[in-house]
Each structure stands twice: as C-alpha cells, then as structure tokens.
Structure 1
Amino acid sequence: MASPATQHDSDDDDVFAEAFSRYKYKNSFNENTWEEEFDKIPMFMKSVPEEIDPKEYPELAHIQAILHDEDRTPEEKAQSLKNEGNEYFKEKKYQKAIVAYTAALKNKYDDQDLDTVLLTNRAAAHFHLGNMRSALIDSTNAKKLKPQHLKALIRGAQCCIELRNFAAAIQWCEEGLQAHPSDKKLQDLRTSADKHKRASERDARKAKLKEKKLNNQKDALLSAIKARGIKLVKSVKPRDSGSDGEDDNEGSSTALAELSLEGLSSQQATGAQVFLNEQDLLNWPVLFLYPEHQQSDFIAAFCENDRFLDHFAVMFGEELPSWDADRKYHLQNLQLFFEDEEKQTLYKVDPETSLLKVLQHKRYFVKAGTPSFIILVNGSSFWKQYLTGKKTRAM
C-alpha cells in the first residue's frame, strides 16, 4: 500500500499530465510542416540550396557570410554592412544601424559614392536618436565628398535648425537650392529657418531691452540706498568683551558689502527684495523676531517712511497672534529693539520712529537685504531674563 506521501505525489503527476496535454508549445514547429521547417536548420539540412535567400534561410546566410568573408573585397563587405544597417534603420533600431554603418566605413576601399551614402545614412540614424551634433558632422563630411548630395544637404539643414543655428541652416539650404532649385523639402526648410531666425533675433532684442531696463532699475536702487547712507553687511564678527563705547569705530570688524543686487536678496522663502516704488521710496522686506515664543513675522514691503507703530496696529490690533496664549502682546506693552552684533548691544527703538531713520543709524547694518528687529513684552519675566547681562541703549 502506497504511503500518503507517495499517493500525494501520484495525484500531482496526474494533474500535471492532464494540464500539459491541454497546452501546446509556443514558438514550436508547425505540426503539419515540421519536416520542411526542420530541414531549413543548417545543422540538419540534407542539402544546401543553390541560391540562398537571407529571408528564407537567415541562419544559413549568416554562416555563409562568415565562411566567405575573407574572400570578399572591402567594398563588398562595406556594401553588406550598409544593407545590414539599412535593415536596422527600417526597424527603427538606430543604434544598431549606426554600428553597422560605422563598421562599413572602416573598410578600406575607394568609392566616394558609397562613403557618401554611409555617412548620410549614419547622419539620419544619429538624427533620429537626437544626436544632432554627430548627425551634423556626418552630413558635413558627406557634403565634402559630394557637395551636391541632396540627402546630405537636407540633413545638414535639419540639424542646424534643431541646434538653433538658423543662419547656418539658411546657408545649407541656399547651397542645396543652387544645385536643386526646385526641391520642395529644401524650400520648406529655407522658409522655416528664416522664420526661426527672425523670431530668434526678435527675442534677442527683447531680452536685451529687458536687461537694459533691469540694469537701469538696479542702478537706481543702489544709488538710492547709497544716497540714504544705509549700510549693507556681509558678516559681523563679535568684538572682544572688553570693547565698549558707542562712538568707538576704530578697528571695526564689520565687513561692509559692496552694493549689488546679490547682496540684497532676502533669505525669506518669499524671495522678497528691496525695491523703489513709483514715488522713489524704498520698500524693504522686514523680519520681526519674538524670542520668547521662537516665532517671527515677515513684512514683504515695509515702506521706508512708515512708522513701526503703523504696522504694529495691524499686527497687534483686534486679533492677537494665535501663539500668544497669555494675550499680553498689546501695543502698549511692546518694546522694539535692533541688535548690534559686533558690539553685542541692543538698541531700543521708539515705535513712532520711521524705518528709514533706524536704517540710517550709524550702528545699523542690513544683513542679507532684510532688516530685522526683536519684539519683547515690557516687564514680563522673559523680558527681564532676556535683557539680563546685555548692554542696552536708546537709539
């Protein structure tokens, strides 16, 4: 008596055999013509056909080519490789076509017509792959061999258009039309190249005018900042703890930035930057810091003539900030400071003061194009703790 395991294996075999009988092999010989198909395999042929059709006997054709390759002339080898490349090209296998055409060109023979065709065909394969510079090089070399070769002239013009060298494309077309004045393809390419050239020149003029306008705006902006005596800073190196004195400017380690738009780029995610409005007033991106809550406010365009109080009335008006759980950030409670990092001093700012007056202070330096200020609640426990040990001065 069979064991359970043996019985189980037997059942599996029966299931497999039943399933196997229902399916046929894929890519197998036809059951009605298998003998003829079998006879086409070189290993099993009873006799070799007198004329070998590569389409009917592809394997035999390849073997014969290998056996007789040494007997063929370089030109015959090149011609064979060209045909192989053409087949690949028809199948849109452009990379393989390039390999075949390249191998054909390596054969040493004296046939400029064949070389021209191989170069033009390879240029076409490169073109379809998007290798425009390689395609242009092959087209140029083909034209050197045959200056009037139509396909080379057309392909060269096409490559120049794709490379946006419209003047060169027009030249290719004009050379081609001298030899083939009625060719519609060259005529269309000439029209297209001229249209693109005029559009490109128009765009270049617009870009130049825009650049000039931006440069004028930049010069006006930088002149306005300089005229107001506002100082931009690259970096601030803290002074030694023994240094003191508000009017002590000797040995200052503040690195003033050269006036440039690069030095005025705000670090805020908005990308805001100081600008001159229609009234020639500077509008600055301004940052307010609340160290007690590690929060901040950002005003993208703070006009230089605006008072801080004008903005505070909006920021701390009827609706207080959501993070102010104790509801203590009222206008009458606020104290405003700017920090002189070099001298490690806080300067108290009267909210009635305009932004311009603060920016013109001799110890105020605009960093990264964004003036910044500190806001504290007067008399709070954090206010006392924050100011302990710090030097404070009235502006």
Structure 2
Amino acid sequence: MSRIEELPDDFDESLNLNEIPPEAAQGPPPDLPQPGFDAFAASNEAPFPINEERLKEVQNDPSAPRMPPTMASVRSHSKDELVSMMNKTPLFMTDIENAGDENGENVLLDALTALQNEGTRGEVALSFKEQGNEAVQELRWIDAKEFYTKSIAVIYAKEDKWEKPEDPAAEKELLRQMEELSHINRARCNLELGNYRSCTLDCAATLKLNPNNIKAYYRSSMALLKLDKIPEAEDSAARGLAVDPENKSLQAAAKQIAERKAALERVAAKKRAEEELARKKNLVLSTALRARQIRTRKTGQPPEMEDAGIRLVPDPLSPESSVEFPVVFLYPMDAQSDFIKAFSELNTITDHLEYIFPLPWDTKKEYSINNVECFMQTVSGGLIKAGKKLPLLQILSGGKVEVIDELVRIFIVPNAKTGAFIAEMKARKEG
C-alpha cells in the first residue's frame, strides 16, 4: 500500500533508499568482523579482568591448556559480577547509579558526557538533531525520536553547562532553528510510531515557532485523521493549503480526510436511520399492546433470548399486524421447559401442545392435552387458570396477568398434581 512520506529536514533527497549500494550488495569487507564475530576474541583481549583464583576453581584439570583470554575473563566471574561489570560499560549500562567504581568514578561515562557537552548549546542541539536525521534515514524511529528529544532537552535546559558562543546572535538563531527542526522531526517519528497525540503536540510547538511550516500542518492533519478527529484534521489541512495551495502532500491529506469524513457520515446516517426505525417500531408496538390491554414490565435482569421478543407481524410498522410473543411452557412438577420463539396472539395453547406432546422425558405418560391444566401468575402473585383452547390474546388482555421482560410464562401441570402445585405456589407467595 502506497503512502505519502515526508522526509526530515537535511535529508539528502538524491539518495535512493530503494537501491542497495554496490558495496553493500557485495557484503562487508573481509577485514571487518562478520555478524556474530567476537571482536574481543579477534584481538585476543579480555573484555573483563580475569579472576585467577576463581579460574582455578572452574578449570579443574591443571594439565589442561589455558583458556583464551576472552573465555577466561567470562568464566572466572559469577553472573552477578558480569552484570555489574557490564553496567559500567556505556553500551550495556542500565543503572547509572551503580556505573562507577569503588570511588564512584567511570572514565568512559565521563568521556561520553564531556563529548555530549562539548560546544555551545546550539552546537550540541545540532549534533543531536543530525544524529536523529541519520536514524530516520535508517528508519530507526525510536532512536531518532530519542535524539530529537535530547536536542529539545538541551535547548530547554535551565542549567547552562555549555561553551559560551562567540556570536550570541548567531547562536540564538541556531537554537531557534534547532527547536523548530527537532520538534517537527520528532513529530514525524511519533507519526510513524503511532503516537498521534504526541505528534500533534510537536506540530503545535513547531507552528508557534513558524506558522508557515507546511510539514507541521501535514503531519498534524495526518495524526488527527488517525485519531478520527475529522474537524480538527480538516482545519489543519486547510490552514496548510492556505500557506501553500500547491502542496501535493497536503492535497493528498485533504483528500484522505474528506473520504474518511464521508465514510463516517454514511455510518452515522445508517445508525440514525436504524435508531429511527427502532423508535417507530417500538411506538407502534406499544400502541398495539395498550389497545389490547396487555400489561408489560421489564426487570433489571431479563432472560437471554437472543433475538426473540414481542413483535408485530407481518409489518412491524402497521398497527393492524398481529402480535407475536416468546412463550415458555414450564413443567414445574418435573423441572422441565419448552421455549416457543413466536407464539401468535391468535394461537391457542393447544395449537402448540399438539406438536410438543408426547414429551420425550415423560416416562410415566402423565402429560397429554386432555390430562393437563394450564396456569399463569397474576399481577398480584396469585394464579389464574388459562384456557387451553382460548387465543393467547384473550388470556393476556384485561390486565390480570402481565408479560415480564417480553416473555410469557405458562405452567403446564398434570391434573393429578394441580392441588400440590397450587399449594406450593400459595406457600411461596405467603413466604
């Protein structure tokens, strides 16, 4: 997938990064260490001081030839000792507090620090910025970001520990340039790394220094686009194009922003249409239920019924349609149940029992259409007998029962056990 790339300032545009230099294609010169080659072994120098006493313990056989210095220096120290010594080497340093010797000194670290502070504040900032540019050319975005951050830190540092400039005016201008370039180049790194919020902050800092910096408008608009902040992205691109109407990168960014805006608007319009349709369906359904005098109520913990619910069929927007209900047949004396997803208000209980009976678990043959009674709970918690041959609409209308969480519950009880069932339900109500 192609994308628009902005190169950092000072980038040598004559370079073609897609071509491999002939010398690189031929491999490294024969006199250079190959990847994985132990430079210490090549020079036969020990990377760490050799602990002779420990080496004697490790090398049990006195007649065995002496280990090479590199191996001996490693084998003669414990793991913790090696970690401690490596921490005193800048390349491997992870804890600067413990990087010194017994006197708290570290010659290598002091030398690197001196090099970092060598020159004026502007020259040091320039050095870090140039190292960042080199890292960008190699697509090492994290390293490049770190160098630009160091450049900015030097510029903003309160303590002036650098050399005094011979030309204060030139130094001031150099610092201003480095501040702008380091911020806008770090914005590029943040954009590549997906740190979109940080990218916009760097762009804002750049524009405070130079309101005509086109890269700041471009990178800010792209970061805002990634964050789906479309109005802000549009504004950034428009401001940039006001400065440079012919800028190809900004024109492409503006096109991407417009396309994303259109896509989001289509999604929003579809969502609004779906919400409006659902609102109309609910309004027509609730009007139909009120007209039928059917009471409904919702609780905080409705049962899981997937897409089942009360609905009007065939047309959910027509009050002349029939109402369908999800219904559960409960067999309380045997702890069993059957679920009917769409029970029309015009159907009777018998209409459904005819295809449900015989029940596969009814080994005693207690359940048949003529040998069961049907009950429903009333609003007050009592029971009513529901006629098996009455349309569901006639059972539900009138307000004696209510449909809870859009689910109609009907108890199916064998005739011989109705007394026990009624007593149990009465005891439960009183308890």
* Counterpart in the other structure of 1:372: 409
Deviations 1:67-125 (A, max 9, x none): 25555433233334434545565323267457546534533684332222222222223
* Counterpart in the other structure of 1:181: 245
Measured at CA, do residues 390 and 149 of structure 1 come closer, stay the same or move farther in structure 2, by a change above 3 Å? closer
Measured at CA, do residues 33 and 182 of structure 1 come closer, stay the same or move farther in structure 2, by a change above 3 Å? farther
Query: C-alpha distance in 1, partners of 2:298/2:42?
Result: 88
Aligned-partner SS, 1:388: helix
Aligned-partner SS, 2:352: helix
What pairs with 1:12-27 in structure 2 (closer than 5 Å)? Answer: none
Measured at CA, do residues 233 and 174 of structure 1 come closer, stay the same or move farther in structure 2, by a change above 3 Å? closer
Could you state the TM-score of these two structures normalised by the residue count of structure 2? 0.64
Q: Tell me if 1:338 matches 2:376.
A: yes
* Counterpart in the other structure of 2:400: 363
Aligned-partner SS, 2:413: strand
TM-superposed deviation, 1:297? 1.2
Q: Tell me if 1:67 matches 2:152.
A: no
Measured at CA, do residues 388 and 199 of structure 1 come closer, stay the same or move farther in structure 2, by a change above 3 Å? closer
Query: C-alpha distance in 1, partners of 2:149/2:364?
Result: 77
Query: C-alpha distance in 1, partners of 2:418/2:293?
Result: 32
The answer as to whether partners of 2:203 and 2:216 remain within 8 angstroms in 1 is yes
Aligned-partner SS, 1:232: strand
Q: 1:313 aligns with which of 332, 354, 369?
A: 354
Aligned-partner SS, 1:374: strand
Deviations 1:332-363 (A, max 9, x none): 11210002373x42211111111111211432
* Counterpart in the other structure of 1:14: none
Query: C-alpha distance in 1, partners of 2:117/2:403?
Result: 81
* Counterpart in the other structure of 1:44: none
What pairs with 1:28-43 in structure 2 (closer than 5 Å)? Answer: 28-29=38-39, 33-34=43-44
The answer as to whether partners of 1:139 and 1:156 remain within 8 angstroms in 2 is yes
Aligned-partner SS, 2:343: strand
Measured at CA, do residues 130 and 29 of structure 1 come closer, stay the same or move farther in structure 2, by a change above 3 Å? closer
Amino acid in structure 1 at the alignment position of 2:386: V
Deviations 1:152-196 (A, max 9, x none): 121011112112233433332233233333332222112222222
Q: How many residues are treated as equivalent by the alignment?
A: 315
The answer as to whether partners of 1:284 and 1:303 remain within 8 angstroms in 2 is yes
Query: C-alpha distance in 1, partners of 2:107/2:249?
Result: 42
- Please, which runs of 5 or more residues in structure 2 have no aligned partner? 1-35, 49-90, 92-105, 159-170
Amino acid in structure 2 at the alignment position of 1:336: C
> Identity percentage over the alignment?
26
Query: C-alpha distance in 2, partners of 1:387/1:141?
Result: 78
Q: 1:323 aligns with which of 357, 361, 374?
A: 361
Deviations 1:282-304 (A, max 9, x none): 11111111112211111111111
- Please, which runs of 5 or more residues in structure 1 have no aligned partner? 1-25, 39-54, 236-262
* Counterpart in the other structure of 2:324: 283
* Counterpart in the other structure of 1:350: 387
Aligned-partner SS, 1:93: helix
Deviates more, 1:100-109 or 1:172-181: 100-109
What pairs with 1:1-395 in structure 2 (closer than 5 Å)? Answer: 28-29=38-39, 33-34=43-44, 63-69=110-116, 72-86=119-133, 90-93=139-142, 96=146, 100=150, 103-104=153-154, 106-107=156-157, 110=172, 111-233=175-297, 267-277=303-313, 278=315, 279-316=320-357, 320-340=358-378, 342=380, 344-379=381-416, 382-388=417-423
Query: C-alpha distance in 2, partners of 1:372/1:97?
Result: 70
Measured at CA, do residues 113 and 373 of structure 1 come closer, stay the same or move farther in structure 2, by a change above 3 Å? same
Measured at CA, do residues 287 and 156 of structure 1 come closer, stay the same or move farther in structure 2, by a change above 3 Å? same
The answer as to whether partners of 2:125 and 2:152 remain within 8 angstroms in 1 is no
Measured at CA, do residues 196 and 362 of structure 1 come closer, stay the same or move farther in structure 2, by a change above 3 Å? closer
Aligned-partner SS, 1:276: strand
Query: C-alpha distance in 2, partners of 1:161/1:387?
Result: 66
Measured at CA, do residues 290 and 85 of structure 1 come closer, stay the same or move farther in structure 2, by a change above 3 Å? farther
Query: C-alpha distance in 1, partners of 2:273/2:187?
Result: 39
Query: C-alpha distance in 2, partners of 1:148/1:74?
Result: 26
Deviations 1:5-46 (A, max 9, x none): xxxxxxxxxxxxxxxxxxxxx7533655457x99xxxxxxxx
Amino acid in structure 2 at the alignment position of 1:356: L
The answer as to whether partners of 1:274 and 1:282 remain within 8 angstroms in 2 is yes
The answer as to whether partners of 2:376 and 2:383 remain within 8 angstroms in 1 is yes
Measured at CA, do residues 268 and 31 of structure 1 come closer, stay the same or move farther in structure 2, by a change above 3 Å? closer
Query: C-alpha distance in 2, partners of 1:104/1:121?
Result: 16
